[in-house]
Structure formats: C-alpha cells, structure tokens
Structure 1
Amino acid sequence: GELFIKEKKKKKRKNFDPHLLSDRALQTLLSTEDNYLPSTNYFKCVQNEVAPYMRRVVATWLLEVCEEQKCEEDVFPLAINYLDRFLSIERMKKTRLQLLGAACMFLASKMKETVPLSAEKLCIYTDNSVRPDELLSMELLVLNKLKWDLASVTPHDFIEYFLFKLPVHEDAKHTLRKHAQTFVALCATDVKFIAHPPSMIASSCVAAAMQGLHMKALDGRVSPHTITDYLAKVIHSDPDCLRACQDQIEALLEASLRQAHQTVSTETKGLEKEVDLSSTPTDVRDVNI
C-alpha cells in the first residue's frame, strides 16, 4: 500500500488542457483574481502579535516542507494565499501561527495533490508541537473564515497561460517554467508582494526568468527586452508597474542568493548531520516565544 502511494505521488501533471489556456480562460482569471487578494495592511489593522518577520519564518518553513515532500509547485503559493487571507480577517496569537500555516498547507495539498499530505506527517514536521486533532480543528476554522472558497487564483495559473502563448521553443519552456516557479515561491515568502495581484507576479517572474536566461523567442516578436511590454498588454497592465514589480523580484533574488552564500560560508564544511523528518532547516519555534 505504501509503495503504491509513493508511485502514485510520483505522477505529476504533465500537460494542461489547452481549453483551460484560452483567451477566455485568461479573462476569467483576470476578472476573478482580485476576489482572492488579502488585505495589504493586516499587520497594522488586524494583527497585534503577528509581525512580518514571523510570516516570513513560517512561509520559509512551509516552502521547505513542500520541497522535501516534492509537492506540486502550486501547493505552496496556494497555502500562503490561505494564510494571508485568514490573517486579513482573524486575529491570531503568534504561538498558533505555525499551526495556522500547517492547516493552510493541509488544505492546499488536498486541493492540488493526487495524494495529499497526511495530518500526522505535517505534525511531525512541526516537531510534534502540533497534534493531529489541533490541526483538524484549525483546518475547519480556516475553512469557515474563508467561507469554503478555496479555488484561489495563483501566479501558477497565469504562468501556464504565458508559456502556452509565448513563441518559445518547447525545449526551453521547461527551463523557463522552473525559473519562473522558483521566483513565484520566493515572492510568496516576502510580504512586499502581498499587494500585487497574481497576474502581475506571474508576468514579472516570467519576464525576469526570460531575461535572466537570455532567452529569445522563435519569431522575433518577443525578446528579453520587450517581454515586459508584451506581458503587460496580455494582462492589461501598465508596463511601468510591471517593471517595478520585476525590479523588486530581481532585488529579492539577489538578496536571497547573497544570504544563502553567507549561510554556506559560515557552516562547518565536511560535516554532515543526520536529519530526521521533523528538522527542516527553519525552526519556527523562534517565533513562538
């Protein structure tokens, strides 16, 4: 049974239905994405204990769990959307923030995974600071507060549309997708991007990835220098706003790479430690004190 589940989980979605990538589908996404945007100032207007850095710690932990469990790429941004929407309307004690994050991941996994994460496994990732019954209770609370509306629009929905439309060689689209998805995950960990709609984040991530890869289109209509203007027209946005968002992403990427380099340089080289399932690198207990 366990072997069957593992084999089933390996089967990722390979192709999107072309009917879901039509112009009509894009317009539907653009017209509904605002319905799932969190409040941009919930740290000041709603929360009195939860601070931006705490959200970053929990978001980083969620990302690490997703990566270790090889979740679908859209599970993490969807979980963060649930987290931000919940925090926009419900005051939360900082000691329960990891519990909330785990519940949001639990729901996102059920929405997107063929074999969702189990409550028991998620509790292990909290170093057993969360019990399965607590997780299930928080899951129900999140569902009620979000009015059971979990079909959020995420940047990944737009990325697939852009890749479908961009005149880029098929072999290059896989690399472009992976880079854009990495940028989307990075944006989801940073509070500066809460105010940006998914279409803008997706456009900026694709443009940043295409420029970073020095990728050229097949027919010359779209180049690394004109990709931002092209995508701005597609999503009916101001090119300058898109460029500003792209600049933020590139600055965030540079800061992230610099921090990663500093972390590696301070670690003791040549020593490897056995890491059990509960010990992802980010320790959320630091924000629970």
Structure 2
Amino acid sequence: MTSSSSSSRNLPKENPISRPSVAKTRAPLGDVVNRRNPLGDITNQKTGSRISAPSSTLVRCSNKIGRSKKASKPPKPNAKSNLLVPYEDIIESPQRNAESDLGNDADEVDDIDSNLVDPQLCGAFACDIYEHLLLSEVKKRPAFDYMERVQPNINATMRTILIDWLVEVAEEYRLLPETLYLAVNCLDRYLSGNVITKQNLQLLGVSCMMIAAKYEEVCVPQVESFCYITDNTYLRNELLEMESSVLNYLKFELTTPTAKCFLRRFVRAAKGKTEVPSLLFESLASYLSELSLLDYAMLRYAPSLVAASAVFLARYILHPSRKPWSSTLEHYTSYRAKHLEACVTNLLQLCHESPSADVVAVRKKYSQDKYKFAAKKFCPTSLPQELFL
C-alpha cells in the first residue's frame, strides 16, 4: 500500500494545456533592453506543448503599431480623456425590410428548419432564436465612430494590426472562429467608452482574447500562456486587472451575436434544405466575413448585414452567371439585395486591397488547402448594378 501510493504520487499529472516555459525570456528584436512594445513576439515555442507548438514561423509584429502612429495621426477627439461614452447611444441601426418575410414571387422559400432529427440544428426553435439575435445585435454593437470621439492615442491602423495579430494567435493556438469574433467585439465595445494608451492596446487585445476563450472554448489556455504570447511584455496581474476592467464595463454581457453567428445559418439558407454546403463556399464566405474584422469602417454595418453580404459576394464569385440572392435568403436574412449593396461593395474593396507586410494573417490563413485556397479565388473588380435591384 505504501509503495503503491508513493509511486502514484510520483506520477506526472497530465495537463491538456501545458504551461509555456518562461524561464528564459527573449527581448524583442532590435530592443536589447526589453522595453515594452505595443505588440510582443508570439514566436516563442515549447516542444511538446499543444498550444505553443507553431506549425510555421509567425510574422513579427512588435513595432507595427509604433510605425502606424507616425504614419497616421488621429483627429482630435471631442471627448475628454476620462470620458465614458455609452456605446448604446451612438449606434447606427441598419435598415431592414419589414415585408421581407413575403419573399419573392419568382421562386419559393425553402424550409431549412424542417430537419427536426439533428438536435444541434434546433429546428423547432431556430426561427425564434435568430429573430432574437437580430433584435439583440443592435444593443451590443460597438460605436462606429469611437476613434474620432473617444480615442486620442490610437487610430484605425493600430486596430487593424492588433486584430491581424489576434487572428494569427487564434490560428496558432487552434481557437474557434467564434472566439476570435467575440474577442474583437469585446475589444471594440470597450474602446467605445474607455480611453486606451498605445502601450496598453495589446494588453487590451490579449485580455479580450482570454475572455472570449473562457466563454467559447472547452480547453482554455492558461493566463501565463496569454502573457507568454506577448513575449512577457505584460505581467499576470496586469492581464487579470485588464480582464476585470473589460468585464465590469461590459457588465459581463458576453452573449452577443457576431457575424459568425449569422453566417452559419445564412450559408445553410444559401444552399437550401436539400444541398449540403460546399467547403469552398463556406470557406470563401468565412474569409470575406473575417476580412471585415480588420476594417474599422465596417463597424457601420450590423453583424447580420456583414454575414449576408459575405454570402452574397461568395455566391457571385463562385457562380457569376447565377443570381446571388434568392427568396430563401431574403426570408432568412430579412434583407433584400438592395440593402446589401454598400456592404458588398466594401467587402469587394477589401478583397482587392494590396495587403501590407503588417497585415497578412487572414489572407495567409485562407490560402491553405484546408480552406480550399479561398483567399486565392479571383474576385471581380465590380458588380453589375442589376444584381441589387
């Protein structure tokens, strides 16, 4: 009994997420004194760790925000440095068609909720669930002009670089897409009412990623892991303090609809009740939707509108000879084609923008075989006006 219990105590405990080794810290390149940089280095590894064993060399992003600060100077805000602007008060609500449920006389509306066998589809309650999501998305949207109104120290370019880095972290640590979308939502909602410094922008970003991971993931990286991906630029207690600040400002309201929530249903509506959505179509729609996260100007559009526009554009790219919008899509999205024109045009512009060396994560991610090389698909330079009539 004694030897058995003694040997059992000596057995190593299994940990699904091993703690990264922080015994030997590395100073960021070009900074021998290891000063705090806006973005840390996420290339550190530990052999055998599931979440810290990168499959490829990551692009360094330590000094990107510093460069963008010089390149783009934000306008002077109207708010004082300690002003809190409620994000509910400055939201531009999308226009929807009240008669969209009537559909189009040209074709019938498919019932995509007729499958009551699969409990994950929630066929009996799906319509009520998504009707609630359409109503609640307005209440939990960030302000679309917080950079001009609230933030004197950061600009849209810094936000883009930060989110591009978060995309890279989510891909490297195998986090769910829902985690990334929720992290960006928390980031923008917090920035809508709290002034942040350039030095703490990455701290805010990684804190929002940790919050989203705790909400969405089954296997969550440890706090030390999130410190480690910033090259230990921030201490554990700083990360926890920022996490507390974000959660208190958001009043712990994390159940918020994102574009990813709507995209799953809209993709099913695009294929109808009989066809199985192709992986290429899903990947292309996801790619377009994820590109929208990088662009500060896309905050003007509701998440459901972004998802619907991504489906519209993906259908046209894959099948330019077909009409990209149908009565079924109009019914389940509550948008007519004419409501999507501005958002679709902006998404098309994002596809054609030449990516800078600082913003490559989304395109690199969707250039892989597992996403059917969606980022490499040919995109038209413009769309016929009759598609939106």
2:299 aligned to which of 194, 200, 208: 194
Q: Which amino acid letter does the alignment assign opposite residue 18 of structure 1?
A: L
The one of 339, 342, 350 equivalent to 1:252 is 350
> Aligned-pair distance for 1:42?
0.7
Amino acid in structure 2 at the alignment position of 1:147: K
Change (3 A) 1:93 1:228: farther
Aligned to 1:39: 143
Compute the TM-score of the two structures, normalised by the length of structure 2.
Answer: 0.58
- Following TM superposition, by how much is the alpha carbon of 1:232 offset from its aligned partner in structure 2, in angstroms? 4.3
Structure 2 counterpart of 1:227, from 311, 316, 325 = 325
1:150 is displaced (CA, Å) by 0.6
CA gap 1:226/1:180 in 2 versus in 1, 3 angstroms: closer
> Matched residues, percent identical?
30
- More displaced stretch, 16-25 vs 201-210: 16-25
The one of 176, 180, 184 equivalent to 2:289 is 184
State how far apart, in whole Å, the 2-side matches of 1:66 and 1:35 are.
26
Distance of aligned partners of 1:259 and 1:53 in 2 relative to their CA distance in 1, 3 Å threshold: closer
Shift of 1:161: 1.3
Equivalence map 1:1-289=2 (5 Å) = 1-2=14-15, 17-19=120-122, 22-167=126-271, 170-214=275-319, 224-227=322-325, 231-256=329-354, 259=356
Worse overlay, 171-180 or 185-194? 171-180
Amino acid aligned to 1:100: L
Which AA in structure 2 matches 1:191? Answer: Y
Q: Unmatched 5+ residue regions in structure 1?
A: 9-14, 216-222, 264-289
Cα distance in 1 for partners of 2:286, 2:271 equals 19
Q: Deviations over 1:44-98 (max 9, x none)?
A: 1111111111111111111110111111111111111000000001111111000
Query: What stretches of structure 2 of length at least 5 have no aligned partner?
Result: 1-13, 19-48, 52-117, 361-389
Contact kept in structure 2, 1:38 and 1:88, CA below 8 Å: yes
* Change beyond 3 A, Cα 1:110–1:3: closer
Contact 2:271 2:277 in 1 (8 A): no
Structure 2 contact 180–209 (Cα < 8 Å) conserved: yes
CA contact (8 A) 2:316 2:324 kept: no
CA distance in 1, matches of 2:327, 2:224: 47
Deviates more, 1:45-54 or 1:171-180: 171-180
Structure 2 residue aligned with 1:268: none
Structure 1 residue 165, shift from structure 2 partner: 2.7
* Letter of the 2:173 counterpart: Q
- One-letter amino acid of the counterpart of residue 145, structure 1: Y
Deviation, structure 1 residue 133: 1.3
CA 1:158–1:185: 2 relative to 1, 3 Å? same
1:4 deviation in Å?
A: 8.2
CA distance in 2, matches of 1:194, 1:16: 33
For 1:214, the aligned partner's letter is: H
Q: Against the structure 1 CA distance between its residues 245 and 224, is the aligned structure 2 distance closer, same or farther, given a 3 Å change threshold?
A: farther
Query: SS state of the match for residue 144, structure 2?
Result: coil
Q: Residues 99 and 135 of structure 1 are in contact (CA less than 8 Å); yes or no, is this contact kept in structure 2?
A: yes
| Matched length | 248
Task: Tell me the distance in 1 between the aligned counterparts of 2:315 and 2:302.
Answer: 20
> Which secondary structure does the structure 2 equivalent of 1:130 belong to?
coil
| Rg comparison, structure with higher value | 2
Paired residue type of 1:177: E
Residues 228, 243 of structure 1: 8 Å contact kept = no
Kindly provide the CA deviation profile for residues 179-230 of structure 1, in whole angstroms up to 9, marking residues without a partner as x. Answer: 2222221111110111111100000111222222228xxxxxxx84232775
CA 56–16 in structure 1, closer or farther in 2 if over 3 Å, else same: farther
Distance 1:130 1:157, change over 3 A: same
Q: How far 1:171 moved relative to its partner? A: 4.7
Distance 1:27 1:159, change over 3 A: same
* Inter-CA distance 238–172: structure 2 relative to 1 (3 Å threshold): closer
TM-score (norm 1): 0.77
Which amino acid is 2:121 matched to? Answer: P
Q: Contact (CA 8 Å) 1:56, 1:190: kept in 2 or not?
A: yes
Paired with 1:97 and 1:228, the residues of 2 have a C-alpha distance of 42
SS in 2 for 1:166: helix
Over the aligned positions, Cα root-mean-square deviation in angstroms equals: 2.7
